[in-house]
Amino acid sequence: MAVRIADIKFHKVEKPLNQPFVTVLQKVEEREATVVVVQDAEGQEGYGECVAFSTPWYTAETVVGSRFVMDTVLTPLLKGQLLDHPTDAARLFSKVKGNQMAKAAMEMAVWDLFAKQKGMPLYEYVGGVQSPVPAGVVVAGSSDQLVGNVKAAIESGYRRIKLKISPATDAAMLKKIVAAHAEISFYADANGSFSGLALEELLPFDEAGFALIEQPYGEQEWAAHRMARANMKTPICLDESIHSLEDVQRMANQQAGDIVVLKMGRLGGWAETLKIVEFCKQSQIEMWVGGMIEFGISKAHNLALASLPEIKLTGDFSDSGHFWQTDIISPEIHVEHGEINLSEYPGIGYKLKI
Ligand code: OSB
Ligand code: MG
């Protein structure tokens, strides 16, 4: 079944967060994103969301830069094309360097459209089986807010909580929080804030009881991550370091990590991500799906990814209401008893509401 990409449209979205999201990297108070709509000849629509931030604090891409690339570089490559398979989109984009978030937004919209043409939920179209998907939330901010925020998350039903850490974090206090909630799986995310020359700064966090520690060192600090992995009992998980299958292979070859965070925006879309899932399955590397303060279009794609049987660890899946007063999809995404039911409608299964 071939799909003609007859038209491509973009919508700018901008919303304040319910609460400022404060990490060592950035204070985010407002989120901008670009929604991509691809249309086939019959006017059926596929949706993607570009997850680049307003400024380049997490990856090098930005809202304005990614829009430029989507408009002037990627649209001419995709518009009017007759695609036999959704992987054709990534192939058409392959001569463009970098710009994974821009590519992913458009490529993911194409996957949604193919699933809709087949009349299948996207999660089934990609081979997913797990519904509901377990929910997971991130708790950031200063240490005096931490205890209360963790308590609130548990009361909302979350069974997996990610805490942001940095060298300034009191590891002994986190150890107490983790010990007080034996039924909860706690992850720690450092966003590369530790110095690769000072393993001793990180070691106190090895005693805190985290299920994993995410990205203690910078994106390119493979040797430091290898050192941490060799000297710690807590599994080391890489987020910012992973831009492609090649990076996952490097992690494996250099024994620089145990676990990979999958983010389709950072990886350029479904095609590259599915290659990584296959490699990790063969190499027995565990995976989970990460979030980036996303709106519902992106989250719906992420939920479909998390439904794959190879993905065993709980990802960043919070309720639409966690970050937003109102999300951009209908219905919104809801956490019930610590889980999210996947939509059974074709494609991502949510309507765009902007
Ligand atoms: O490092 O995982 C990260 C948000 C923006 C950019 C990077 C990260 C994050 C988060 C938020 O941790 C997770 C979420 O959206 O639920
Ligand atoms: Mg992270």
**With a 6 A CB cut-off, is 58 part of the ligand 1 pocket?**
yes
pLDDT for residue 143: 79
Nearest to 163 by CA among 316, 329, 9, 296: 316
pLDDT for residue 23: 87
**CA–CA separation, 186 and 290 (whole Å):** 14
Task: Give 49-58 pLDDT, tens digit per residue.
Answer: 999 999 999 9
Residues marked as catalytic: 164, 263
**CA–CA separation, 173 and 31 (whole Å):** 31
Please provide residue 261's backbone torsions phi and psi, each rounded to the nearest 5 degrees. Answer: -90, 120
> Ligand 2 is a single-atom ion; what residues have CB below 5 A from it?
189, 214, 239
CA–centroid distance, 264 to ligand 2, in Å, is 13
Give the CA radius of gyration of the chain. Answer: 20
What secondary structure letter does DSSP report for 347?
Answer: B
**With a 6 A CB cut-off, is 290 part of the ligand 1 pocket?**
yes
* Residue spans of the chain under pLDDT 50: none
What secondary structure letter does DSSP report for 10?
Answer: E
Q: Which residues of 73-102 are buried (b: 16+ CB within 10 A; e: fewer)?
A: ebbebbeeeebeebbbbbebbeeeeebbbb
Taking the CA of 21 as reference, the closest ligand is 1
CA–centroid distance, 189 to ligand 2, in Å, is 6
**CA–CA separation, 291 and 229 (whole Å):** 24
Using the Cα atoms of residue 13, residue 15, residue 17 and residue 21 in order, give the sign of their dihedral. Answer: positive
Bridge partners, residue 243, by sequence: none
CA–centroid distance, 295 to ligand 1, in Å, is 12
Nearest CA to ligand 1 atom 13: 291
Nearest CA to ligand 1 atom 6: 292
CA–centroid distance, 260 to ligand 2, in Å, is 10
pTM of the entire structure?
Answer: 0.97
For 167, the 3-state DSSP assignment is coil
pLDDT for residue 1: 81
**With a 6 A CB cut-off, is 190 part of the ligand 1 pocket?**
no
**With a 6 A CB cut-off, is 239 part of the ligand 1 pocket?**
yes
**With a 6 A CB cut-off, is 187 part of the ligand 1 pocket?**
no
Q: Judging by beta carbons within 10 Å of its beta carbon (0-12, 13-18, 19+), is residue 116 exposed, middle or buried?
A: buried
For residue 209, CA distances in Å to 34, 91, 147, 181, 225 come to: 38, 43, 16, 11, 19
What secondary structure letter does DSSP report for 17?
Answer: E
**With a 6 A CB cut-off, is 189 part of the ligand 1 pocket?**
yes
